[in-house]
Amino acid sequence: MRPTLLSRRTLAFGLAALPIAAGSRARTASPAAGTAVEAPDGVGNGLTHDAESIHQELSFAAHPAAVYEALTDAAKFDAVTRLSDAVTLVTAPHAQATAISTELGGTFVLFGGYITGRHVEMVPGVRLVQAWRAGSWKAGDYSIVNFSLAAQGDSCRLSFDHRGFPQGQGPSLAYGWRVHYWEPLAKLLGGR
């Protein structure tokens, strides 16, 4: 089956529609229950506080440009993959090769094709934002990942955020980021 490629415009409209698709009625968070409820006056800010998200902060003994390159260069990221315990995904008989576009709006294929997506923002050595999805998700489901990089002496401080993923996926995704990205990236670059 041939994969469907999204244009930047289609992706942008799809991402812009996420808040609309999430719910059309004004909702606000109930502090006691922690779940979204109808605002008493019917007017709310559209924000809920029960959505899952992941925030992780790490340090790597490398310059931010080296960390950015490891995340955006196919050969370097393939080395990260091979250092993770997901190596069986990339060596499976029908696995796709690691491919990462260096262009804004370009696509990426990681971990034998299990992870795919598109670059939404690319600021070399500073920030990488991607529309990101796992192969087990429903067709068309994308989340947003944000890698923010900052020099900290001779090291790189990476601040990572992941949001918009299917409900209930948070614990396995947080674990996956640690064992498939951060630990092997630290082996490749040096980390603490």
Q: Which domains does the chain have, with CATH numbers?
A: 1-51 (no CATH), 52-189 (3.30.530.20)
> What is the distance between the terminal CA atoms of the chain, rounded to a whole angstrom?
42
Report whether pLDDT(161) > 90. yes
Report whether pLDDT(159) > 80. yes
Query: Residues 29-44: what's their mean pLDDT?
Result: 37
pTM (whole model) above 0.85: no
Report whether pLDDT(18) > 80. no
Cα R_g (the chain), whole angstroms: 18
Cα distances from 11 to residues 29, 59, 68, 108, 131, in angstroms, run: 29, 31, 23, 14, 8
Which comes out higher in pLDDT, residue 170 or 26? Answer: 170
Could you report the per-residue pLDDT of 74-97, keeping only the tens digit for each? 999 999 988 886 655 555 667 899
Report whether pLDDT(30) > 50. no
Cα distances from 166 to residues 10, 53, 172, in angstroms, run: 20, 10, 11
**pLDDT tier, 120 (very low <50, low <70, confident <90, very high otherwise):** very high
The backbone torsions φ and ψ at residue 142, rounded to the nearest 5 degrees and listed phi first, read -130, 150
